[in-house]
Amino acid sequence: MRSLKSSHFSLWLSRSTPLAPAMAASSLLRSLTRHARGASAYRHLPWSPFSTTTAAAAGARDEARKGFPGLGPTAKGEKARVVVLGTGWAGSRLMKDLDTSGYDVVCVAPRNHMVFTPLLASTCVGTLEFRSVAEPLARIQPAVSKSPGSYFFLARCTGVDPDAHTIDCETVTDGEKDTLEPWKFKVAYDKLVFASGAEASTFGIKGVTEHAIFLREVHHAQEIRRRLLLNLMLSDVPGLSEEEKRRLLHCVVVGGGPTGVEFSGELSDFIMRDVKQRYSHVKDYIHVTLIEANEILSSFDVRLRQYATNQLIKDWCR
Ligand SMILES: Cc1cc2nc3c(=O)[nH]c(=O)nc-3n(C[C@H](O)[C@H](O)[C@H](O)COP(=O)(O)OP(=O)(O)OC[C@H]3O[C@@H](n4cnc5c(N)ncnc54)[C@H](O)[C@@H]3O)c2cc1C
For the segment 171-177, the average pLDDT, to the nearest whole number, is 76
**pLDDT-based confidence at 39, cuts 50/70/90?**
very low
DSSP letter (8 states) at residue 271 = I
| SS3 at position 54 | coil
Give the distance from CA 207 to its chain's centroid: 22
CA distance 52 to 176: 44
- Which residues have a Cβ under 8 Å from the Cβ of 158 and sit 6 or more positions away? 168, 169, 170, 184
CA distance 234 to 8: 11
Q: Which fold has domain 9-16+202-314?
A: FAD/NAD(P)-binding domain (3.50.50)
Helix %, strand %, coil % for the chain, to 5?
40, 20, 40
Position in ligand 1 atom list of the atom nearest CA 93 = 25
Torsion angles phi and psi, residue 147, rounded to 5: -75, 140
For the segment 223-242, the average pLDDT, to the nearest whole number, is 95
Residue-by-residue DSSP string for 18-35: -SHHHHHHHHHHHHHHHH
Position in ligand 1 atom list of the atom nearest CA 120 = 1
CA distance 171 to 12: 27
Cα within 13 Å of Cα(122), Cβ side: 13
Position in ligand 1 atom list of the atom nearest CA 19 = 11
Q: Which fold has domain 20-37+63-194?
A: FAD/NAD(P)-binding domain (3.50.50)
Given a cut of 90, whether residue 107 has pLDDT beyond it is yes
> By the 8 A CB rule, do 42 and 286 touch?
no
DSSP letter (8 states) at residue 71 = E
Extended strands (E) in 217-300: 250-254, 287-291
CA distance 162 to 192: 9
- Which residues have a Cβ under 8 Å from the Cβ of 317 and sit 6 or more positions away? 264, 265, 267, 268, 288, 289, 290
Tens of pLDDT along 193-229? Answer: 999 999 988 889 899 999 999 999 999 999 999 999 9
- Hey, do 9-16+202-314 and 20-37+63-194 end up sharing a CATH topology, with the first three levels equal? yes
- Which residues have a Cβ under 8 Å from the Cβ of 121 and sit 6 or more positions away? 215, 221, 259, 262, 263, 266
DSSP letter (8 states) at residue 100 = T
Which residues form ligand 1's pocket by a CB distance below 6 Å?
Answer: 16-19, 21, 85-91, 108-111, 117-118, 120-121, 156-157, 195-197, 215-216, 259
**Residue bearing the bigger pLDDT, 123 or 9:** 123
Tens of pLDDT along 183-192? Answer: 999 999 999 9
- Looking at every residue in the chain, the average pLDDT score rounds to 83
Given a cut of 90, whether residue 58 has pLDDT beyond it is no
Given a cut of 90, whether residue 19 has pLDDT beyond it is no
Tens of pLDDT along 122-148? Answer: 999 999 999 999 999 999 999 999 999
Q: Parse the chain into domains and list their residue ranges.
A: 9-16+202-314, 20-37+63-194
Given a cut of 70, whether residue 33 has pLDDT beyond it is no
- What is the whole-number distance in angstroms between the Cα of residue 282 and the centre of ligand 1? 36
> For residue 201, what pLDDT is reported?
86
